């Protein structure tokens, strides 16, 4: 298994480990190991929070009614709000594409096109008869 080494520094000490390296993990002093565990738990919580935000944005995009006046209004974010994660960006793009498809004009129907052509031909014939 060629798993890449992960190098990190805790309190000025550099550690380089591979996942599953029990001896290397055991060599980390208990205090530093506890700090590393707390850091990894914070990373895991952040991942969950980003996933929840993405799911929430995706659900809001799916539930938002078509043609609402505030559909394109930016959402209020307090000063300490976090940046968008990649899941948020994907959900936002999906929402914008769906809104664009809803607001797009449909192509002219065959009957409508036929009416325009017949009208133009009739106008040309009328002009030829008059002049």
pTM for the predicted model, two decimal places: 0.42
- The tally of CA atoms less than 13 A away on the side-chain side of residue 10 is 17
Contact assessment for residue 115 and residue 108, using Cβ atoms and an 8 Å cutoff: no
Contact assessment for residue 82 and residue 46, using Cβ atoms and an 8 Å cutoff: no
User: Which has the closest alpha carbon to 39: 11, 19, 18, 16?
Assistant: 11
In a domain, 61, yes or no: yes
In a domain, 77, yes or no: no
User: Strand runs (DSSP E) across 3-126, as ranges?
Assistant: 6-10, 13-17
What is the extent of the structural domain holding 102?
Answer: 6-65+84-130
In a domain, 72, yes or no: no
In a domain, 99, yes or no: yes
In a domain, 105, yes or no: yes
Please state the domain count of the chain.
Answer: 1
In a domain, 97, yes or no: yes
pLDDT of residue 76: 57
Per-residue pLDDT reduced to its tens digit, 59-93:
887 776 654 544 555 555 555 555 666 667 788 88
């Amino acid at each position: 298994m060629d798993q890449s080494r992960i190098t990190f520094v805790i309190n000025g000490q550099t550690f380089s480990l591979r996942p599953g390296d029990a001896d290397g993990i055991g060599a980390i002093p208990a205090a530093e190991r506890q700090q590393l565990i707390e850091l990894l738990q914070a990373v895991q919580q952040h991942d969950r929070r980003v996933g929840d935000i993405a799911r929430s944005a995706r659900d809001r995009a799916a539930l938002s009614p078509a043609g609402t006046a505030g559909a394109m209004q930016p959402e209020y974010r307090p000063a300490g709000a976090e940046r968008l994660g990649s899941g948020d960006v994907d959900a936002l793009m999906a929402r914008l594409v769906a809104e664009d498809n809803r607001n797009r004009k449909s192509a002219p129907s065959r009957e409508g096109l036929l009416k325009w052509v017949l009208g133009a031909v009739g106008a040309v014939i009328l002009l030829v008869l008059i002049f």
